Structure 1
Amino acid sequence: MVPFNRSRRVVAALATVALLAGASFASAQEISEAHLKAARAAVTSIKATDSMDSILPQANQMLKIELIQKNPNLEEDIVRIVDEETLAIAPRRGDLEKEVATAFAKAFTEQELTEIAAFHNSPTGKKFLSDSPIVGREVSKAVDIWQLGIARDLSQAVAKKLAEVAPAAQPPAPVEAPPANGQAPASPTLTPPAQ
C-alpha cells in the first residue's frame, strides 16, 4: 500500500506541475536532452515518483492472491510465474520516469528545473520535503478549527441581527378559563359552507 503522506506529497507536486503546465507550457518543440536531464534531476530531488515504486509490487501481490484463490493447487507455479513476469516488466518503470520528467520539462525551463533541484538537494530543501507532511497535518487541523469557529461566529452574528429585524413574536392566545359552574366551555359550532 502507498504510504498516505508520501502519496499526498506526490499528488500535490504533480498537481502543481499540471497547474503550472497549463499556464506556461514550453513550445511543442522537441525537448533537448539537457532540458530533460534537468527535469529528471528535479523529479529525483522532490521524490516525485518515489511513491510509485510500490505500484508493481502491489500488482504482483494482488495477482498472486487472485490466481491462488482461483487455483490453489497451482500456488507454486503461480508464485514463480508472476515473479518472473514482474521482473520482466520492471524495466518499464523507466517509461514512467521519462513521462514525469517530460511533464516537468514542458512546465519549467531548464534553468528553473536546475534551481528546483538545487533547492531540494540543499539542507533546507531536504528539510522542506521531510517536514512538509507534518506541517500539512498541522495546517489542516488549524483550518478545521478556524472553519468551525467562523461558522459558529457567523451563525451567532446572523441570529443576533435577525432577532433585531424580525417582528416581535405575537403573544400566545390566552386559554379560556372554565366557567364558574365547573362545566366545560361550549364547543364552537361549525357552520357548513354555503353551497
Structure 2
Amino acid sequence: MVLMNTIRGGILAVVVAGLAVTVPAAAQEIAPSHLAAARAAVDAIDSTEQFDNILMNAATQIKSDLIGSNPDMQPQISDMVDDKALELAPRRADLETEVSRVYAKLFTEQELKDIAAFYNSAAGKKLLKQGPIASREMLAAADVWSNGILRDLRSKAAEGMSQLLAQNGSGATLPGGAALPTTTAGQASSQ
C-alpha cells in the first residue's frame, strides 16, 4: 500500500511538473499584439454572433424543466433562473478570447489586421450582410447547373453508346433495356 501511494505520488508529481512546464509555454505562445489583432478580426467578422442565444436558450430550457416539476413556483423559478443566467453572462467574454486564440493560431498578426480592415470597410460589411443571400443563390444556381450537366452528359453518353454499339454490331439497347436514340450525333446537335 505504501509502495502504491509512493508510485502514485511520483506519477502525480511528474504530471504536475509537466503541466507547469507546458501550460505557461502554451499561454505565452501568442503575443498580446497578435491576440489583439485576432480579437479585432473576430469582432469585425462577427464570428461568435451565432452563439449569442446559448445562455438565453439554456435558461428557457431550465425554467421549463423546473417549472414542470414545480408549477406552483413559476414566478420564483423564472426570477431565480434569470438571476443565475445574468451572473453567468460575463463569461461570454471567455468565448471571445478562445475564438481569438483559434484565429491567432491560424493567421499571422498582419493577416488578422488585414481581415479586420477589410471587414470593417464598407465592402466587408456588405459582404457580411449579403453573403448568406449570395451563398443561398449560388447553391440554387449550382443545382440548376448540375442538373443541366447531368442531363446533357446522359444524352451525350447515350449518343456515344449508340455509336459504340453500332461499331461493334451489338443490339441497340442501353443498360436496363432502354432503347437508344434514333438520331445521330450530328442530328441531335442541330435540334
Normalising by structure 2, what TM-score?
0.70
Distance (Å, rounded) in 1 between the aligned partners of 2:127 and 2:152: 35
Q: Which residue matches 1:187?
A: none
Cα 1:169/1:152, change in 2 over 3 Å: closer
State the shift of 1:169 in Å: 5.2
Does the 8 A contact of 2:162 with 2:172 survive in 1?
no
> Aligned ranges for residues 129-148 of structure 1 at < 5 Å?
129-148=128-147
- The Cα offsets for residues 4-44 of structure 1, whole Å up to 9 and x where unpaired, read as xxxxxxxxxxxxxxxxxxxxxxx965211111111100000
Q: Does 1:153 align with 2:152?
A: yes
Q: Which residue matches 1:65?
A: 64
Q: Which residue matches 1:80?
A: 79
Root-mean-square deviation (CA, aligned residues, Å) is 1.8
Cα 1:30/1:169, change in 2 over 3 Å: closer
> Aligned ranges for residues 1-195 of structure 1 at < 5 Å?
30-166=29-165, 167-168=170-171
State the shift of 1:163 in Å: 2.5
Q: Which residue matches 1:18?
A: none
- The Cα offsets for residues 69-120 of structure 1, whole Å up to 9 and x where unpaired, read as 2321221221011111101111111111100000001111111111111111
User: Higher relative contact order by CA 8 Å / sep ≥ 6: 1 or 2?
Assistant: 1
Does the 8 A contact of 2:39 with 2:100 survive in 1?
yes
Distance (Å, rounded) in 2 between the aligned partners of 1:37 and 1:83: 32
Which one-letter code corresponds to 2:80 in the other structure? I
Normalising by structure 1, what TM-score?
0.69
- The Cα offsets for residues 157-182 of structure 1, whole Å up to 9 and x where unpaired, read as 11222223331259xxxxxxxxxxxx
- The Cα offsets for residues 116-175 of structure 1, whole Å up to 9 and x where unpaired, read as 1111111111111111111111111110001111111111111222223331259xxxxx
Q: Which residue matches 2:182?
A: none
Distance (Å, rounded) in 2 between the aligned partners of 1:160 and 1:78: 72
Say which structure is richer in helix. 2
Gap regions ≥5 residues in structure 2: 1-24, 174-191
Which one-letter code corresponds to 1:125 in the other structure? G
Q: How many residues get paired? A: 144
Which one-letter code corresponds to 1:59 in the other structure? A
Distance (Å, rounded) in 2 between the aligned partners of 1:169 and 1:154: 19
Distance (Å, rounded) in 2 between the aligned partners of 1:116 and 1:164: 55
Distance (Å, rounded) in 2 between the aligned partners of 1:144 and 1:110: 38
Sequence identity percentage: 47
Max radius of gyration: which structure? 1
